[in-house]
Structure 1
Amino acid sequence: MSSKSFLSVIITIVLVSVLTSCKGVKTNEAISEHKKPNILFIAVDDLRPELNFYGANHIKSPNLNKLAGESLVFNRAYCNIPVCGASRASLMTGARPTRKRFINAHIKKDEDYPEAISLPMLLKNDGYTTISNGKIYHYKNDDAKAWDEIWHPNSLWDYALPKSQDIRKNTKRGLPFEAAKVHDSVYRDGKTALKVINDLRKLRASNQPFFLTMGLSKPHLPFTAPKKYWDLYNRDEIELPESYVQPKTTPKQAFHNFGELRQYENIPKRGDLPEALAKELIHGYYACVSYIDAQIGLVLEELKRLELEDETIVILWGDHGWNLGDHKLWCKHVTFETALKTPLIIKVPGKTKGQKTEAITEYIDIYPSLAELVGLDIPNTVEGKSFVPILNGQKSEKNWAISKFKDAVTLIKDDLFYTEWTDDKGIAYARMLFDHKKDPLELDNLAEKPEYQGKVQKLSIELRNKWGKDFLNN
């Protein structure tokens, strides 16, 4: 064979190889394009937006920071009800709370709104594998038909030490905190992370898209976490919040006795907490945030290792805010911003890269947004508004949100927070108005000041126009 002929053969072989390779790439791309995106749905209990990407630099959460840097961060996201059971059921149905629907921690979606097609049910009906891990709804078996699998960790009330377990066994709630020299997997959220990682490995081999959840229980009370996370913080450097006061201008209805915390051992039954105890609680909260940050990091690392990152939407949310001494309050159950404002971040492959938005977003907006992102029609029971236009770089047309707890209903509009306590007929018996541009800590109630009465009347009308058509009748 001549050298010229030999060269032609070599060129032909190379061209065939290149074309075959290119064809394979195109085929894989086509499969990727036609397969619906997976969703990793991370729910965190009692997580307030006191995080680095919200301007707070004292909590150590490197994995959340990294995720935020790859996501769209919502600077003004608000839960619709500041209590876990109701907030979760509202989010999962995309429906607003009313006078009688979604009112407390112990409600069930199946009882309060059985006719609503939940987000996991919508996805399951479209061929998604749906797995509920940890705390997604308040009750394990709520909306059970929507899930291919429901799993909860067994963790002996989330205490690691035998002494703490004995105290819990003999009291209503046990100790409010624990720092034990144990592996992360001893506590509930460490077990949950391992389960989610195992699920990812199994799901990778499937041709079905998945809706995989990770329901984390911390930083909910009790503040129990491995000691190494407590050691990240110096308690001597922890300070009580600047808003550690209850102004006389604020309606008494706005305050409560934080009964959720009072049920724990060694917590006074009434009155302010001793300063040392208050700082110990704040310390415990910080430790728990760092602990769950590490668990989230393990899961996200596995998502990347399995090469699922580019086909998986990751959304992380906290079910409501939490008071850490703000207004001398602890826990949630109020309509101050500290209980309503929540962390919300979403990573969409090819769309997000650390952008931030000031658009006011409600939790009922999450359902229609995820449905739109995966190409599904939104059921008519959903009352939220998709935030996908924001992901596409467009300006949000929405500048308001509505939140409710018991008789208190709050309209959040621009910089104003307006709350009315109303009876069953919708008649107000107390009011509260804050202007965050002048008073971000909500210490000066404007609602009863003569010069604001015109503004109050307009906000009162707008509140009723926006709290939902079935608010008083359902």
Structure 2
Amino acid sequence: MKYPTLRTCGLLVIGAALQSIAASDQPNILFIAVDDLKPTLSAYGSPVPTPQIDRIAERGTTFLNAHCQQAVCGPSRASLLTGKRPDYTRVWDLKTRIRDIRPEIITLPQHFKENGYHTVGVGKIFDPRSVDKGADEISWSERYTQTWHLKYHPSTGKPKAHYHNPLSKKLAKQAEAGGIKSWGAINKLLADNDAWPVVEAEDLPDDAYDDGAIAAYAVAKLKKLADLEKPFFFAVGFKKPHLPFIAPKKYWDKFDRSTIKLARFQKQALNSPDYAYHDFNELRSYSGIPGAGPLSEGLQRELIHGYYACTAYIDAQVGRLLDQLKKLKLANNTVVVLWGDHGWHLGDHGLWCKHTNYEHATRVPLIISAPGGRRGLQTGMPTELTDLFPTLCELAEIEIPADLDGVSLTPTLLEGDETTREFAVSQFPRGPQMGYALRSGRFRYVAWYKTGGTSTDGESAPIATELFDYKLDPQETRNLSGTKQFSLVEESLSAKLEDFLKRQHL
């Protein structure tokens, strides 16, 4: 939407006219989610060039120490989009629906909708397993656009079960023709026939795959939204670099696999509990991945290559959205936020996928560009994804719900203030244990509780603890908990986490 800047006109108005002025100054929100994206972005010093996402960073603030609240899609997104932690939403898995537990909860897009915004979305914003078939229908001003509503490149049509390679596509079509409809059943059929590859690099146009089609839809939708008489909240959810690693060949060609560096430390951290780790079964379900044991160096390079290619593919799609904002003259009145729902292990600790309380799983990209905000700022202040809800409310000048768990980052965005947060907290269940990780500017302290895999009441003593110093040990090679040298640090962080948990579970 294009707005006149009425406050500069010197007009004296009262009553309803004042409300109109306030509304006219409200920024649009372009809310870009990227599935499974860790900070492999050039704005974070990564060797993966992401010039389009860099454009957001150049106009805004890059949060270098941002963390999700649980490193798996459903719980992380449920937390971010409600502004509440997993222990409140009770979404710790990939089957619990948010509103089955909290039917009264107000989501971020719902709150904007109720405060005069036109809210629309496309792609993956909520995890579909956490909401109704309408992607939480109450949150949107119009029908949410799912992938089956999209238009794909006419030369290819829609991919089948993610793929365009001939064998996978053929088997998926046969399955659908035979009445097999469920995602899990089709994937199992492909896996049983060695046709569920973890990578694909077909020489096809961007819009042959979901994310290109999502970008094409978003570009067209922005043009329609620009003509509305109210501000918009547009959520665009890209699906890569989630497994399988599929991107058009030209993005694979950007990288020389032989030069890709493997993780330096590929062992379990000394003195850390076994249940802090996992066997990355999400990856092992794909064709060509061994069912047990470490991965060969060649396979590791192929996987990292795929992750990088998918990241480059997404970067290009983000560029299409930014180009359209500029073309429509919306860039100067639109808050652009780009976030990943969690990080991803690429061989560090001998791990792949997410599902831990370690740095590579919890740390996420978070970049926000706001009208009137600082440009090109980078901050190492600990930050949480729960902070997005109050931050966007304050930037839009709408009421911040009183019970949110996050804090507004507006002082950082507008003034460069780096004192808003002292630490960020993540958590992850493993069997009957729940681990809580407190991340400060330098340290990570993790306390594991015997909880039955749900949450702790903050009263019981932890059954195991971990402490890592990123200044001395950025690879998390040694658990320092219990060492004399760091006893005062551990005592301080332990007290902070204990107090935090008590306050959370009152």
Question: What TM-score does the superposition give when structure 1 sets the normalisation length?
Answer: 0.90
Task: Kindly report which structure 2 residues correspond to 1:1-400, keeping only aligned pairs within 5 A, or say none.
Answer: 26=9, 34-35=23-24, 36-56=26-46, 58-98=47-87, 101-139=90-128, 140-148=133-141, 149-154=143-148, 155-166=159-170, 169=186, 170-172=189-191, 174-393=196-415, 394-400=417-423
Q: CA deviation at 1:27?
A: 9.5
Distance 2:464 2:49 in 1: 40
Residue in structure 1 matched with residue 499 of structure 2 by the alignment: 465
Instruction: Give the residue type in structure 2 aligned to 1:161.
Output: N
Checking the alignment, whether the CA contact within 8 Å between 2:168 and 2:190 is kept in structure 1 is no
Of structures 1 and 2, the larger Rg is shown by 1
Shift of 1:353: 1.5
Superposed displacement of residue 34, structure 1: 4.2
Structure 2: distance between partners of 1:272 and 1:338:
18
2:425 aligns with one of 399, 402, 418: 402
Contact 2:66–2:382 (Cα < 8 Å) also in 1: yes
Alpha-carbon shift at residue 460 of structure 1 (Å) = 2.4
1:332-390 deviation per Cα after TM superposition (whole angstroms, max 9, x unaligned): 00011001111000111221321111211111111000001111112233111111111
Report the 3-state secondary structure (helix = DSSP H, G, I; strand = E; otherwise coil) of the residue aligned with 1:299: helix
- Conservation of the 8 A alpha-carbon contact between 2:346 and 2:352: yes
Query: How far 1:32 sits from its partner (Å)?
Result: 7.7
The residue identity in structure 1 corresponding to 2:471 is K
**Does 2:423 match 1:430?**
no
Matched residue SS, 1:469:
helix
**In 2, distance between residues paired with 1:395 and 1:232?**
36
RMSD (Å) for aligned C-alpha atoms: 2.3
Q: Is the 8 A contact 1:106 1:138 kept in 2?
A: no
**In the alignment, is the contact (CA less than 8 A) between 1:110 and 1:142 conserved in 2?**
no
Aligned residues of 1:402 and 1:467 also touching (Cα < 8 A): no
Q: Is the 8 A contact 1:167 1:175 kept in 2?
A: no
Larger deviation, residues 282-291 vs 397-406: 397-406
Q: Following the alignment from structure 2 to structure 1, what is the Cα–Cα distance between the partners of residues 167 and 87?
A: 43
Asked if the contact 1:423–1:429 (Cα under 8 Å) also holds between the matched residues in 2, the reply is yes
1:448 deviates by 3.1
Q: Residues 402 and 124 from structure 1, CA distance in 2 versus in 1: closer, same or farther, beyond 3 angstroms?
A: same
Amino acid at match of 2:481: A
Structure 1 counterpart SS, 2:482: coil
Distance (whole Å) between structure 1 residues aligned to residue 80 and residue 140 of structure 2: 16
Q: Which digits, 9 at most, give the CA deviation of each residue in 1:234-291, with x for residues without a partner?
A: 1100121112222342221121000110111111111101111111000000000000
C-alpha offsets along residues 177-205 of structure 1, whole Å, 9 cap, x if unaligned?
Answer: 10011110010000100111111011111
TM-score by length of 2: 0.84
Tell me, in whole angstroms, the C-alpha distance in 2 between the residues paired with 1:227 and 1:96: 39
Cα deviation, residue 111, structure 1: 2.4
Q: Which residues of structure 1 form unaligned runs of 5+?
A: 1-21
Kindly state the Cα deviation for residue 101 of structure 1 after the two structures are TM-superposed.
1.3
Q: In 2, distance between residues paired with 1:337 and 1:112? A: 30
Distance (whole Å) between structure 1 residues aligned to residue 376 and residue 441 of structure 2: 23
Quote the Cα distance in structure 1 between the aligned partners of 2:226 and 2:89.
42
- 1:108–1:142 Cα contact (<8 Å) kept: no
Q: Tell me what 1:19 maps to.
A: none
The Cα offsets for residues 19-41 of structure 1, whole Å up to 9 and x where unpaired, read as xxx99x9499x988641111000
* 1:446 pairs with 2:480: yes
CA distance in 2, matches of 1:99, 1:119: 16
Q: Which AA in structure 1 matches 2:160?
A: L
What one-letter code is carried by the residue in structure 1 that aligns with 2:48? Answer: I
1:99 Cα offset (Å):
8.1
Measured in 1, the distance between the counterparts of 2:420 and 2:139 equals 32
Partner of 2:440: 413
What per-residue deviation string (whole Å, max 9, x for no partner) do you get for residues 318-340 of structure 1? 00010000111000000110011
Q: Measure, in 1, the Cα distance between the counterparts of 2:171 and 2:441.
A: 47
By how many angstroms is 1:414 displaced?
Answer: 2.7
What is the aligned residue count? 449
Structure-2 residue corresponding to 1:14:
none
- The farther-off stretch of 381-390 and 209-218 is 381-390
Moved more, 81-90 or 107-116: 107-116
Segment drifting more, 162-171 vs 247-256: 162-171
Q: Aligned partner of 2:190: which letter?
A: T
1:79–1:87 Cα contact (<8 Å) kept = yes
Q: What is the identity percentage for the equivalent residue pairs of Structure 1 and Structure 2? A: 39
**One-letter code aligned to 2:409:** F
**How far does residue 105 in structure 1 lie from its aligned partner after superposition?**
3.2
1:411 is paired with a residue whose SS is: strand
SS at match of 1:244: coil
Alpha-carbon spacing, 1:167–1:470, altered in 2? closer, same or farther (3 Å):
farther
Measured after TM superposition, the shift of residue 455 of structure 1 is 3.9
Assess if the C-alpha contact under 8 Å between 2:466 and 2:481 holds in 1.
Answer: yes
Aligned-residue offset at 1:451: 4.3
> Once the 2 structures are TM-superposed, how far is the Cα of residue 51 of structure 1 from its aligned partner?
1.4
